[in-house]
């Protein structure tokens, strides 16, 4: 009599033991899944040195994986060396630029939203090495993202497992208070746009928090002070005015709330690395 060949499923369940507890199974992580995941590569250093100025702080998380080539990521004006096989995580609202890059490189960028997560204290302030497990999870993420599943669920799950491997001591997601139902950072951004002068009392009133509470919560959730965020947001908006509207440096300074053009120019250069006259397109 011909022997029947077992299916893969039958081989997998062979010898499967009964549970010790029928109410305790595999638990999923409590972390919220990343959302709106986007992957892209950069293979030429010139792509990482744009000549234009972005419109605002990056609102998304950025995971930078150096697969080949080395360079420096300048994060909040502090340099972080990144070599092949290393990873750096950039939280939202943290300015970053690039320096000392190899001419030819292969860096993978994963940008995403991570609902409820904060800047994770100091956990992200160093490059991490891709070990064998992290590489396996990274490959799974790339394969799933390239498959372009409509709901993106598996890609998000693979990204979360990769983040948990690389940064195991991340903070737990926190519940937003009613004053910032769409997230405190988004609420502050909207209030700042409505209050271009950046007066903290008026901004706190719009958000629905006291000034002291707003300062403390914003630093906790964003990882930077509220004052710095407002100041640098105005400076970057001034860069947009200079580039797109071709207004004078004096007019840009006044719009940004700087009555002294020299103070404006110093702050602009300190924040963006170039003088405002260099951003403006000459007539």
> What are the pLDDT digits (tens) for 197-215?
567 787 888 888 888 888 8
pLDDT given at position 173: 46
Write out pLDDT tens, residues 130-166: 999 999 999 999 999 999 888 889 999 999 999 989 9
- The mean-pLDDT minimum among 24-28, 105-109, 208-212 falls in 24-28
- pLDDT band at residue 223 using 50, 70 and 90 as cut-offs: confident
Do 43 and 162 lie in a common domain?
Answer: yes
Do 61 and 114 lie in a common domain?
Answer: yes
pLDDT given at position 171: 47
Q: How many domains does the chain have?
A: 3
Do 183 and 262 lie in a common domain?
Answer: no
Q: Look at residue 39 and tell me whether its pLDDT is greater than 90.
A: yes
Quick check: is 17 in a domain?
no
Identify the helix (H) or strand (E) that includes residue 72: strand 71-75
Quick check: is 82 in a domain?
yes
What is the extent of the structural domain holding 206? 175-211
pLDDT given at position 8: 83
CATH number for the domain that contains residue 111: 2.60.120.280
Do 94 and 186 lie in a common domain?
Answer: no
pLDDT given at position 1: 57
Q: Look at residue 124 and tell me whether its pLDDT is greater than 80.
A: no
Write out pLDDT tens, residues 230-254: 888 788 888 878 877 878 888 988 8
Q: Which residues pair with 113 in a beta bridge?
A: 35
Quick check: is 28 in a domain?
no
- The mean-pLDDT minimum among 55-64, 95-104, 140-149 falls in 55-64
pLDDT given at position 138: 96
Q: Collect contacts of 77-83 with beta carbons under 8 A, ≥24 apart.
A: 80/126, 80/127, 81/127, 82/127, 83/127
pTM of the model: 0.66
Strands 35-44 and 86-90: unpaired
5 vs 16: CA distance, rounded Å: 19
């Amino acid at each position: 009599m011909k022997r029947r060949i077992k299916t893969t499923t039958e081989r997998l369940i062979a010898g499967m033991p009964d549970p010790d507890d029928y109410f305790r199974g595999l638990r999923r992580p409590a972390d919220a899944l990343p959302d709106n995941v986007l992957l892209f590569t950069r293979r030429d250093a010139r792509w990482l040195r744009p000549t234009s100025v972005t419109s605002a702080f990056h609102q998304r998380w950025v995971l930078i994986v150096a697969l080949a080539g080395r360079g420096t990521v300048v994060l909040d004006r502090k340099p972080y060396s990144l070599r092949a096989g290393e990873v750096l995580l950039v939280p939202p609202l943290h300015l970053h630029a690039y320096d000392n890059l190899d001419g030819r490189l292969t860096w993978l960028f994963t940008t995403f939203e991570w609902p409820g997560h904060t800047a994770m204290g100091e956990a992200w302030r160093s490059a991490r090495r891709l070990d064998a497990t992290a590489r396996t999870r990274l490959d799974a993420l790339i394969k799933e993202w390239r498959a372009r599943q409509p709901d993106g669920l598996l890609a998000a799950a693979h990204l979360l497992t990769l983040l948990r491997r690389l940064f195991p001591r991340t903070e737990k997601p926190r519940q937003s208070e009613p004053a910032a139902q769409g997230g405190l950072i988004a609420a502050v951004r909207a209030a700042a746009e409505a209050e271009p002068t950046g007066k903290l009392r008026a901004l706190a009133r719009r958000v629905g928090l006291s000034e002291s509470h707003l300062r403390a919560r914003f630093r906790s959730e964003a990882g930077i002070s509220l004052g710095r965020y407002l100041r640098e947001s105005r400076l970057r908006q001034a860069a947009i005015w200079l580039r797109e509207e071709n207004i004078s440096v004096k007019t840009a300074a006044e719009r940004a709330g700087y009555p002294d053009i020299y103070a404006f120019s110093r702050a602009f250069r300190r924040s963006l690395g170039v003088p405002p006259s260099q951003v403006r397109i000459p007539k």
